[in-house]
Structure formats: C-alpha cells, structure tokens
C-alpha cells in the first residue's frame, strides 16, 4: 500500500472518502495502526494526560514531543504523521520555525497548532519553508485556563461564524488541514464545505472529512468519565487490532460518529 501524503488526503476529500485518524505515541502502536489501515497518526500532546497523568496538556515539553515523534516514525511505514506543537512552542513565528523544524526532522509530516487568525503570519512562514500546518479550532485544550473547562464551542451564532471565518482565513494563509474539536455538527459541516483542505473532526459531527480519537479513549482504558464524542471500540472485540479495524471501518462507512456522539 502506498504512503499517505497531503495529496492523498486531498484526493480523499474530493472523492468524499472518509479519512481515519488516531493518536499514537510509540513504535509498537504505530505498527498496529498501520496494519489496521489508519490513514493519519497524530502524535498528540494528549500524551501529557493519557501517558504522563497530568490534568491538562500544558506540562508537555518540546523535547518530549520530539522523542515520541521519533518513536512513532520508527514504527510507521505508510500512514501520514501529524504532530502537536506543545504549549508556548509557537508563540512567535521564529520560535515556531525552530521547534517545527525539530519535529519534522524527528519524522513528522505536518505539525498542528492551536489558535485563530493570529496564527496567519506563522502559518505563512512555516508553509513557505516547506512545513505543512494543521490548525486546531473550536475547543483548544492548550487554552484551558482561559476557557475554565472543556466545553462545547461555537454554539452561539457569533462564535460559530468566528470559527468558520478563521478556518477560511487560515487556509488562505496556507493551512493544509483544519482540526475541529467539540463544536456543533452544523459547524463541522459548514467548515468542511467552506474550505478545500481536509477537515478532521473530534466531536464535530459526521460531515467532516476525517475523524480522530485519542487511542486510549477508543480502547476504553482512559479512567474517569468519557466525553460524549468517545466510543469504546474494544468492547465486543477479542483484541486491540480488531478494535482498531472496527474503528477504521466505522469511520469509512460513516457509522461513526453516530448521533449520540454529536452536538447540536
């Protein structure tokens, strides 16, 4: 099977073929996810919560993201690798360039930044230098101290319009992908129609071009109460690999997310 690239994902969007994505933090799971047919691996700063046990993603350090990116890259042979840039690692275009370079050299194919239109100059500089960028909109976990809690974003018309406008403006600035987290499904649908780049959803409804979940959530091993958009795909399966295959199939055939996983 050929390697997944930006060109591959753009063609999938054009052909209305759903894109599957899961977080991944090590070589062993990278191999399993490749075998199961995952299109896109996200080395997420979510590792701060599911691996390190922190209450948020804020404590994750740049060197840790570089380390986990290298681990995932070592076990990957087909999927595209997207990597989160951790908290305050892209607060200026110069710092973003330095840190994104480290991630690309460790094996990333695209980096992900959280924020709105203020990211435009940084996106322009990164993409001009050959570093693809995904922009994370909606619920942005690195802003937890501003948001006060993890909650639905874009419910009010003004806020929904802001998310849609930001997605359009940032793709004009060069963003190669958009990730939407915890927004009404109407916003996920509107953004996916408004931009030409792939739109990844997590709690953004069934109309986005791709779906992503945190691996540990999808396997039902994250402790505590799970978010509405999470489904345990290991339930009813006899092994982890079959659970991952079930997730891929559900994303591809459109049965996930179901109405109970979406926000109105």
How would you classify the pairing of strands 110-114 and 199-202? unpaired
The Cα–Cα gap between 106 and 99 comes to 11
Q: How many CA atoms lie within 13 A of 237 on its CB side?
A: 16
* Catalytic residue ranges: 181
Q: 81-106 burial by CB neighbour count: b if 16+ within 10 A, else e?
A: bbbbbbbebbeebeebeebbbbbbeb
The Cα–Cα gap between 58 and 11 comes to 35
Q: Are 164 and 183 contacting, i.e. CB atoms less than 8 angstroms apart?
A: no
| Alpha helical stretches, state H, the chain | 6-14, 27-36, 47-50, 62-75, 93-106, 120-128, 144-147, 157-172, 185-194, 215-218, 240-253
Cross-strand partners of 112: 84, 134
Q: Are 263 and 227 contacting, i.e. CB atoms less than 8 angstroms apart?
A: no
Tell me how far the alpha carbon of residue 98 is from its chain's centroid.
Answer: 21
């Amino acid at each position: 099977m050929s390697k997944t690239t930006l060109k591959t994902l753009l063609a999938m969007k054009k052909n209305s073929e759903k894109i599957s994505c899961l977080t991944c933090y090590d070589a062993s799971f990278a191999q399993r996810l490749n075998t199961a047919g995952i299109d896109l691996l996200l080395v997420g700063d979510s590792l701060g919560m599911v691996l390190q046990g922190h209450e948020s993603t804020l404590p994750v350090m740049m060197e840790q993201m570089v380390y986990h990116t290298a681990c995932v890259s070592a076990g990957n042979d087909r999927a595209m690798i997207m990597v989160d840039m951790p908290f305050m690692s892209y607060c200026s275009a110069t710092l973003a360039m330095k840190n994104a370079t480290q991630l690309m050299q460790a094996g990333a194919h695209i980096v992900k930044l959280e924020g709105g239109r203020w990211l435009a100059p940084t996106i322009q500089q990164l993409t001009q230098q050959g570093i693809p960028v995904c922009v994370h909109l909606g619920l942005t976990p690195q802003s937890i101290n501003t948001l006060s809690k993890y909650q639905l974003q874009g419910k009010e018309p003004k806020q929904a319009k802001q998310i849609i406008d930001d997605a359009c403006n940032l793709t004009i600035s060069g963003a190669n992908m958009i990730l939407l987290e915890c927004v009404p499904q109407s916003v996920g649908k509107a953004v996916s129609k408004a931009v030409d780049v792939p739109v990844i959803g997590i709690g953004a409804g069934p109309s986005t071009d791709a779906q992503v979940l945190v691996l540990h959530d999808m396997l039902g091993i994250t402790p505590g109460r799970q978010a509405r958009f999470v489904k345990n795909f290991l339930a009813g399966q006899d092994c982890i690999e079959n659970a991952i295959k079930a997730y891929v199939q559900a994303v591809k055939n459109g049965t996930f997310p179901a109405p109970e996983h979406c926000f109105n």
